[in-house]
Amino acid sequence: MRQPVPIICAIVMLLIATVLQQGFLGRYLLFGSQMELPVVVVLSFALISRPAAGGALGLLSGVLTGGLSGVTLTYYALSRVVGGYFLGTRADSEPDYRAGAAWVAAGTLISKLIMILLAPPPAVMPALGATILSAVYNGVVAIPVFALIQRLFRPKVV
């Protein structure tokens, strides 16, 4: 039987990241884009777990973010489920923190592109530019986040 401690810790970290994003980080833009801390947490956990766990945490992240934003939950939930599930399939490669950051950036790009396809913005080119910048920001932020998650939750092999 699996221990519930990593699952509970993942949910608590996601709740903290979502509250920080909605309360503080969402107000600041850098070159027209912003990092998304809940996505970083979801994708980092997905890289050390199974695809189903990444998808489930992505669903919870989408519901929390969409619910707090007051927008349609479907777009957020579906895009993050796909991103979490996809990165969960990459968990077998056991990436280090640098490769983990690159995978988080790629997962962010996939999730945001799905979001653009589901809910097309009025101006597509600026949205694509903001998507690429957001993926870069998330990749940079993923370095310490993924290293911490990997250190705390990856089983040690002796």
Task: Pull the structure tokens for residue 157.
Answer: 């092999």
* Residue of 48, 54, 23, 56 lying closest to 37 (CA atoms): 23
pLDDT tens track for 80-122: 899 889 888 887 777 787 888 899 999 999 998 988 888 888 8
pTM over 0.75, yes/no: yes
In the three-class reduction of DSSP (H, G, I as helix; E, B as strand; rest coil), residue 154 is classed as coil
- % of the chain with per-residue pLDDT over 90: 15
Give the chain's domains with CATH numbers.
5-151 (1.10.1760.20)
In the three-class reduction of DSSP (H, G, I as helix; E, B as strand; rest coil), residue 33 is classed as strand
